[in-house]
Amino acid sequence: MKERPLPDRQRLILKEIVDRYIRLREPVSSRMILEDYGLSVSSATVRNDMNDLEASGYIEKPYSSSGRIPTKKGYRFFVDWLLDLSELTREERLEIVEAYETRCLDVSETIHQTAFLLENITGYAAFVIPPRLEETRLERVVLLKMAECLAFLVIISEIGVVEHGLVPLEEELSEEEIRGIMETINRSLRGANLEDVRMLATGEGPEGWYERPVRQAFLVLGHLLERRKERRVYIEGLLNLAADLQEMIPDKAMERFTRLGRALRDGATFAEAVDAARKGKDGIVVNVGDLPLPGFEEFSVVSCGYRPHSGFLGVIAPLWMDYGRAMSATSYIANRLETILLRSCVRSE
Amino acid sequence: MKERPLPDRQRLILKEIVDRYIRLREPVSSRMILEDYGLSVSSATVRNDMNDLEASGYIEKPYSSSGRIPTKKGYRFFVDWLLDLSELTREERLEIVEAYETRCLDVSETIHQTAFLLENITGYAAFVIPPRLEETRLERVVLLKMAECLAFLVIISEIGVVEHGLVPLEEELSEEEIRGIMETINRSLRGANLEDVRMLATGEGPEGWYERPVRQAFLVLGHLLERRKERRVYIEGLLNLAADLQEMIPDKAMERFTRLGRALRDGATFAEAVDAARKGKDGIVVNVGDLPLPGFEEFSVVSCGYRPHSGFLGVIAPLWMDYGRAMSATSYIANRLETILLRSCVRSE
DNA sequence: ATTAGCACTCACAGTGTTTGTCTGCTAATG
DNA sequence: CATTAGCAGACAAACACTGTGAGTGCTAAT
């Protein structure tokens, strides 16, 4: 794990190479570094250092006589040690805060909105992954009579409205009876985590225990939570990666783009990969091209957790992304979302 | 409008050229036609006919000595006169019917599902455009008390649940009072078209006429309908067009793809363009590369209306799409959706 | 340890060559 | 007069060849 620390000048040169490559997207030559950076040594000296850096695996040459570009290891080192964080401007922060102003209490809605927000701010592809069902506790369900044989079921967790759907009833029930069902459900399930609720409601479960109308509500409850479990990922702005791919591999760009798209179509896989890569950390995590998913070899993922635990969000962008900006945007928005979710509890009293 | 009808052999040759080009995607030479099609004439004769067809604008050459490919006019003629419709298989029809089995009464849900379905069946990009608000009448709203200062508003039209959302209340109201609000709203608005409702609810409207809590519900009502008005288009499977673009213009594929994506991001524009191109027709309409939208020059759109009027759905695919299949899939699914929507009214009694 | 100088490498863009396919035209044919 | 055979010409596609210039590695001098 512990690398021998780089000599000062080499650190400087590496930083310059990464900075410049991120800015201009072309191999950096020894002369370029001097021009930009007024180092008081000659280009040959720089070349020697670059040689060392290459030997240690931080940079590489696309071909034998070209300038250098950073390797993944180089980006990694850059992110860990050399990065200048660039805070969001006051205006940008304001924009984010305002975007949440008109929010309603629907969790999916909020999360979807967040994905858009993060996309707009960073210009990269953004994703938001809601807290796992396992980590979300049922506050209560609300069951309301809508028509003779139709009720409305709303699932409310500690962070707001999770899902809602219609419950067809086999016979007409009075409002009192429906309230009774609701209370039966709440009495037995309040405080349970939603994954347990789902399993209970979809599994063979305690069929005999309840009367038919309760079972009917249960069925829908399970159905809704199941749907929620599947639709776990909101990704926006995939199109932003198109131009990057074009630049990366002009002739295979399209193929790679579709591969990426397909990999992300099944959101759950992506969510799990990122979750695993975060290794349980809470705050900002940067994965430099090491997400074990097909098509992600040339992309970095910046992610940040938010409470309730197990929820996280972030951006997907090429290795040469502006890490500083992505990191501050991601953590700022994670923070806002967290605040919004925790504040907005829809409690019963 | 009326073209002089093509001589029989030329029709045959044109059909063969389009058929073959759609199948193999490469210019068709005079010899190919003979091989495939056992015409009892020589290739020179075919060439002469091809010359005539080119002169009339039905086919063209990519370069001076290549085989021929259809022009838009050629595709147009093909679609209008030469096409063999290819019905969906029994299995495919079954698949579609089954997909609607688990349907709930939420209109957006159903429509979204339909877009997926059409994409899967055809393998092209599919879109579904819901009926305009102007063409949808309010069946009724349902307002239900959920917590002390929170109610749930459900908007129900002739075709199902249109939208729902939370209504924050400024003071606690009894269930009776809330029911009162609901009835006030329903009394004055039932049967009105949703666009009028929206304008009424968002505009300055009859502020003075109602007490505060009613206004509050009104506000949310307007907000929900506004959102609905904006989110009018469901497009799925855009990625399917990527490969086609790659084939069409290998070097500019990505650029064109993003242009297409951006054009479709604002769904309303797309919806209007297609709507205009359909010229009020009810059934299947095929637009061969003549949709006046940037990026659509090289794409055809097959669309089909469904009731309630002003709703329509269809596919977007390259000019060389399998029109027969696309048309039968589109019209079949339009038909199913129509049935489902009209059947599923959520009436009050 | 640093530097100047030089030989070497290689992408890139431009140019030429070859090959094979398919056309248009013309003159012959029934 | 429609049809055909035969031939010359067009041109994409694939490939090799070349010059140019940016950038390196190495070596010998400081």
Q: At A255, which CATH number?
A: 3.30.450.40
Instruction: Please check the confidence at residue A115 and state whether its pLDDT lies above 80.
Output: yes
pLDDT tens digits, one per residue of B2-47 = 455 778 889 999 999 999 999 999 999 998 888 877 677 888 999 9
Residue B17: predicted pLDDT? 93
On whether both A168 and A62 belong to a single domain, the answer is no
**pLDDT reported for residue B200:** 86
The answer to whether the CB atoms of B148 and A257 lie below 8 A apart is: no
Does the structure show a pLDDT above 50 at B348? no
Residues A141 and A220 in one domain: yes
> Which residues of chain B neighbour A258 with C-beta distances below 8 Å?
239, 242-243
Confidence check: pLDDT of A210 > 70: no
Q: In terms of Cα–Cα distance, which of B125, B136, B124 is closest to B163?
A: B136
Phi, psi of B129 (to 5 degrees): -115, 120
| Closest residue by Cα to residue A346 from A150, A110, A178 | A110
Choosing from B188, B203, B226, the residue where a domain stops is B226
On strand C, nucleotides with any atom < 7 Å from a protein CB are: 2-5, 8-11, 20-26
Query: What confidence score (pLDDT) does residue A205 get?
Result: 55
CB B74 within 8 A of CB B50: no
| B195 located within any domain | yes
Cβ contact B13:B53 at 8 Å: yes
Q: Do A250 and A320 reside in the same domain of the chain? A: yes
Q: Are residues A342 and A237 in the same domain?
A: yes
Within this chain, do residues B193 and B236 fall inside the same structural domain, yes or no? Answer: no
Same domain, A77 and A110: no
Supply A164's token pair.
């809602």
B122 with B180, same domain: the answer is no
Q: Residue A145: is its pLDDT beyond 70? A: yes
Polymer length of chain A: 349
Residues A126 and A140 in one domain: no
Predicted confidence at residue A230, as pLDDT, reads 78
Asked if residue A2 belongs to a domain, the reply is no
Average of per-residue pLDDT across B215-244:
88
Phi-psi region of B291 (alpha: psi -120 to 50; beta: other; left: phi over 0): beta
| Domain boundary, last residue among A226, A245, A260 | A226
The answer to whether residues B118 and B237 belong to one domain is yes
Q: Tell me the three-class secondary structure of B118-169, residue by residue.
A: HHHHHCCEEEEECCCHHHCEEEEEEEEEEECCEEEEEEEECCEEEEEEEEEC
How would you label A215-233 residue by residue, b for 16+ Cβ within 10 Å and e otherwise?
bbbbebbbbbbbebbeebb
A205 and A174 fall within a common domain = yes
Nearest to residue A158, comparing CAs of A140, A183, A184, A170? A140
Nucleic strand D near CB of residue B258 (< 7 Å)? no
Range of the domain at A215: 134-226
* pLDDT above 60: residue A120: yes
Chain B: nearest CA to A67, how far in angstroms?
26
Please give, rounded to a whole number of angstroms, the shortest distance from the CA of B113 to a CA of chain A: 13
CATH number reported for the structural domain that contains residue B169 in this entry? 3.30.390.60
Read off the pLDDT band of A147 (50, 70, 90): confident
Query: Packing angle between helix A90-99 and helix A323-343, nearest 10 degrees?
Result: 30
Domain boundary among the residues B60, B81, B102 is at: B81
Using one digit for the tens of pLDDT, what is the confidence trace for A177-192?
A: 998 999 989 998 999 9
The answer to whether B257 contacts A254, with C-beta atoms less than 8 Å apart, is yes
Angstrom distance (rounded) from CA A147 to CA B345: 12
User: pLDDT tens across A37-93, in order?
Assistant: 777 788 899 999 999 999 999 999 999 889 999 999 999 999 999 998 889 999 999
> Tell me, what's the pLDDT at B54?
93
Return d(Cα A106, Cα A306) in angstroms, integer: 17
CA distance A127 to A332: 14
Contact B253 A253 (CB under 8 A): yes
